[in-house]
Amino acid sequence: MFAKLIVDIANSNVDRLFTYSIPEELDVREGHRVLVPFGRSNKPTEGFVVEICAEYDTGFEVKDVIRTMEPYPALLPDQVELAKWIARAYHCTLCDALRLMLPAQLRGSRVKEKTVRTVCIAEGADTERIRASLLKKDGSARSPKQLEVFDLLTKVGTPMSVSDLNSYIPMASAAVAALIKKGCVTEQGFVTFRSPFTNNVERDTAPELTADQRKAVDSINEGKAGEVFLLHGVTGSGKTEVYLNAIQRALDAGGGAIVLVPEISLTPQTTDRFRRRFGDTVAVMHSHLSVGERYDEWRRLRLGKARVVVGARSAVFAPIEDLKLIIIDEEHEPSYRSESVPTYSTDEVAIRRVRLTGAKLVLGSATPQLISYLRAKQGAYKLLTLPERINGIPMPEVEIVDMRSEFMSGNTSIFSRELAKKLTKCVAEGEQAILFLNRRGYSYHGECRACGFVFTCPHCDVAMTYHKFDGSLRCHYCGYSTKVPAVCPSCGSKYIKYSGVGTQQVEEQLKKLIPGVRCLRMDTDTTGGKTSHRDILDSFARGEADVLIGTQMVAKGLDIPDVTLVGVVFADASLFHSDYRSGERTFQLLTQVAGRAGRAVSDDGPKKGRVVVQTNAPEHRAVRLAAEHDYRTFFDLEINDRLRTLFPPFAVFARALFECADEKRAAALAEEFARKAEETVAGALKKHGAENELLFVSYGAAPIRKRDNLFRYAVILKLARTKHTSDAVSALWALSDNCNTDGFRGVEINPNDML
């Protein structure tokens, strides 16, 4: 038998199948990782077996597979197929695609199984004679420690782990070693799984579903193999309970399920909800696991000891045999798109995977991506709706405050009169509030009031952020920092203003507004550590603070019943970002944040949630319609605009980037690439008589013109999305593969941001 394999070297020169013969004594199947002699020097190299065949007929000599890396195939057949599709769809090597499916440290055996050392009294040992030998003539112990260990092991009678032993008898290791040497104690070991879970959870049972939930669960259960569902449910409508029920069904049928949540909401609160329902069959996969935990969670899934995985984006590749269901919660989150090669979209990968396996896919959100809702309307996805909150809890009442008129009437505080009044009342009544803002740090940037000079990073050409705690100005792109100057470097004036609002400033003003208020702050500056994010949320959930102040992080998935007030301090930051999706993002964000308010039911009925949105753009439809909880109208207006102006989902953007120390060179390279790209893509479309589908080609300095001392120039192509698009994109990729210039950063299709 022969194995066709991809060597584990991410280089496009070796991105093809190599054939090796399989020695009789080796069990090699599709999906196995194997070691093979590779290249002229026959260097032992790891490879992925993607095909087994009985015959091999070219004249070349074939070498033997040396050995398998794991006793079982590390890759499932559907993962191999999925990788092939990814390599085609996202234009990467098959090796890169296959690597997505495995814990990185598996390669090169950089992570090992953990064995627990155990010891027990040697079988058939004459315990009385041994004990006597451990005593001196006068009856005292020759070595008290050895005697103590021996007595304990005799009493216990069964193997004990060395670490347990050590906890009873401090520093027993040397005594254990001595006893082993004497032959009275023997050593064993067993393989364990390192667990990321630090707490035990109590199991719960499913509540009675509401009629809407029942309908959704039934539709999913009755769905066809490969079917995609869009679960559009307002915040607090019980989407998670729908997922849990559908997963139960998958488990009952002997299969498994993948649950994806945005990394930011992968808190223990979220995973615990799944563990409470399904116990030890739940594994987790996310970036905060240690290397050993990641490997062992992967192994638990691969070996079938766990059948449900809750994880971030990359868990879509989890090794689950007999996969029945994939769930993508908060499917609109930008983090579902990978930023590194291959730049895949998780929903596209999931669609492919359910088609390959016959599983079903559920996309859930209160604010679906426009493209998802469009597909649902067109019938490609089945739409399921949960229009109401659980337990008859009303949607929160949202009030929009125009901050311009607040300012005109003399209020220069960051809190409008309305928000100040509501905050004071909320805290006085012992309820909790969340204050949300879209920025971090004390203030945004430093600006001279006299001449308008803005402090920008000398390496990146972007405004630097002022950090009050150490009086520094920092660049978030390259990490450059500098002390705040006393006078303006341009005009010498000492009136430098640090404009913008940050979480620290909100905290200070809040303490002035409500003396004695207890607040917690959560932003990327306070949540650096592994547990601090959890600590802050736990502490807030326990009621140890009245107000939680935070950035994006507080918007996601929080379910704290006593929160009755949410204040959006400044709702404009994301609106005027130069991105066509900023309206959509703002709508999503406001809906999410508002959804944190008023989720509780007390004895006298549901507590009403209130939201105050402060903005300079009260008439903007993203603000207005989010306040009215009107997704459908927002969708209709937004999608019509996208169609009229030909923006995604009706168009596709491609961007090529050049970064050079010499600005002229960067510009010249971009210009040349733009010319070739236009020619190539137009040529490809012309074959279909569709040249007009290339909507435009432009080139010039990127919005961040300089970063890390490199000048950045971009070429942007816009294509109408039609059945010819993939041909046009392939032509562009061929061009990019042949572009070997220094400073070329590749072509990206529909990048998450164009900065």
Binding site for ligand ADP (CB under 6 A): 207-210, 213, 233, 235-241, 390, 559
Q: How far is the CB of 702 from Zn ion (least distance, A)?
A: 14
Q: Which does 308 bind (CB under 5 to 8 A by kind): ligand ADP, Zn ion, none?
A: none
Q: Which does 505 bind (CB under 5 to 8 A by kind): ligand ADP, Zn ion, none?
A: none
Q: Which does 159 bind (CB under 5 to 8 A by kind): ligand ADP, Zn ion, none?
A: none
Q: Which does 290 bind (CB under 5 to 8 A by kind): Zn ion, ligand ADP, none?
A: none
Q: How far is the CB of 485 from Zn ion (least distance, A)?
A: 10
Residue 136 CA to chain centroid, in angstroms?
64
Alpha-carbon distances, residue 668 vs 73, 659, 672, 715, 726 (angstroms): 50, 11, 6, 11, 28
Q: How far is the CB of 71 from ligand ADP (least distance, A)?
A: 41
244/536 with CB nearer ligand ADP: 244
Q: How far is the CB of 309 from Zn ion (least distance, A)?
A: 38
Q: How far is the CB of 364 from Zn ion (least distance, A)?
A: 38
Q: Which residues bind Zn ion (CB under 5 A)?
A: 448, 450-451, 453, 457, 459-460, 475, 477-478, 480, 488, 490-491, 493
Q: How far is the CB of 555 from ligand ADP (least distance, A)?
A: 12
Q: Is 466 helix (H, G, I), strand (E, B) or coil?
A: strand
Q: How far is the CB of 550 from ligand ADP (least distance, A)?
A: 18
φ/ψ (deg, to 5) at 433: -130, 155
459/665 with CB nearer Zn ion: 459
73/557 with CB nearer ligand ADP: 557
Residue 131 CA to chain centroid, in angstroms?
58
Q: How far is the CB of 239 from ligand ADP (least distance, A)?
A: 3
Angle at which helices 173-182 and 144-156 cross, to 10°: 80
Q: How far is the CB of 273 from ligand ADP (least distance, A)?
A: 8
Instruction: Take residue 182 and report the two structure tokens written for it.
Output: 């004497």
490/741 with CB nearer Zn ion: 490
224 contacts: CB under 8 Å, gap ≥ 6: 360
46/241 with CB nearer ligand ADP: 241
Q: Which does 390 bind (CB under 5 to 8 A by kind): ligand ADP, Zn ion, none?
A: ligand ADP
Strands 33-38 and 43-53: antiparallel
Q: Report d(CA 122, CA 140) in Å as an integer.
A: 23
One-letter amino acid at 330 equals: E
Q: How far is the CB of 529 from Zn ion (least distance, A)?
A: 25
183/207 with CB nearer ligand ADP: 207
Q: Report d(CA 361, CA 349) in Å as an integer.
A: 11
Half-sphere CA count of 591, side-chain side, radius 13 A: 27
Q: Which does 478 bind (CB under 5 to 8 A by kind): Zn ion, ligand ADP, none?
A: Zn ion
233/446 with CB nearer ligand ADP: 233
Strands 43-53 and 2-7: antiparallel
What is the CB neighbour count within 10 angstroms for residue 397?
Answer: 14
122/590 with CB nearer ligand ADP: 590
372/503 with CB nearer ligand ADP: 372
Alpha helices in 49-143 (DSSP H): 77-89, 94-99, 127-133
Q: Which does 236 bind (CB under 5 to 8 A by kind): Zn ion, ligand ADP, none?
A: ligand ADP
Q: Which does 460 bind (CB under 5 to 8 A by kind): Zn ion, ligand ADP, none?
A: Zn ion
DSSP string, 339-398: SSSS--BHHHHHHHHHHHHT-EEEEEESS--HHHHHHHHHTSSEEEEE-S-GGGPPPPEE
User: What does the angle CA 53 – CA 54 – CA 56 come to, to the nearest 5 degrees?
Assistant: 85
234/473 with CB nearer Zn ion: 473
Beta-bridged to residue 432, according to DSSP, are: 563
Q: Report d(CA 561, CA 601) in Å as an integer.
A: 8
Q: How far is the CB of 557 from ligand ADP (least distance, A)?
A: 8
183/492 with CB nearer Zn ion: 492
Q: Report d(CA 697, CA 718) in Å as an integer.
A: 7
Q: Which does 488 bind (CB under 5 to 8 A by kind): Zn ion, ligand ADP, none?
A: Zn ion
One-letter amino acid at 419 equals: L
Q: How far is the CB of 457 from Zn ion (least distance, A)?
A: 3
748 contacts: CB under 8 Å, gap ≥ 6: 343, 654, 655, 656, 657
Half-sphere CA count of 55, side-chain side, radius 13 A: 2
φ/ψ (deg, to 5) at 479: 85, 0
Q: Which does 480 bind (CB under 5 to 8 A by kind): ligand ADP, Zn ion, none?
A: Zn ion
Cβ burial, residue 639 (10 Å; 0-12/13-18/19+) = middle
- Radius of gyration of the chain measured on its C-alpha atoms: 31
Q: Which does 310 bind (CB under 5 to 8 A by kind): ligand ADP, Zn ion, none?
A: none
323/560 with CB nearer ligand ADP: 560
Q: Which does 624 bind (CB under 5 to 8 A by kind): Zn ion, ligand ADP, none?
A: none
Q: Which does 453 bind (CB under 5 to 8 A by kind): Zn ion, ligand ADP, none?
A: Zn ion
63/459 with CB nearer Zn ion: 459
Whether the CB-CB separation of 748 and 343 falls below 8 Å is answered with yes
| 458-491 per-residue burial string, b: 16 or more CB within 10 A, e: under 16 | ebbbbbbbbbeeeeebbbebeeeeeebeeebeee
Q: How far is the CB of 579 from Zn ion (least distance, A)?
A: 21
249/474 with CB nearer Zn ion: 474
Q: Which does 213 bind (CB under 5 to 8 A by kind): Zn ion, ligand ADP, none?
A: ligand ADP
| 697-719 per-residue burial string, b: 16 or more CB within 10 A, e: under 16 | bebebbeebbbeebbbbbbbbbb
75/366 with CB nearer ligand ADP: 366
Q: How far is the CB of 379 from Zn ion (least distance, A)?
A: 48
Half-sphere CA count of 403, side-chain side, radius 13 A: 17
494/632 with CB nearer Zn ion: 494
Q: Report d(CA 312, CA 643) in Å as an integer.
A: 32
Q: Which does 207 bind (CB under 5 to 8 A by kind): Zn ion, ligand ADP, none?
A: ligand ADP
Q: Which does 347 bind (CB under 5 to 8 A by kind): ligand ADP, Zn ion, none?
A: none
Q: How far is the CB of 629 from ligand ADP (least distance, A)?
A: 13
Alpha helices in 102-225 (DSSP H): 127-133, 144-156, 162-168, 173-182, 211-222
Q: How far is the CB of 447 from Zn ion (least distance, A)?
A: 9
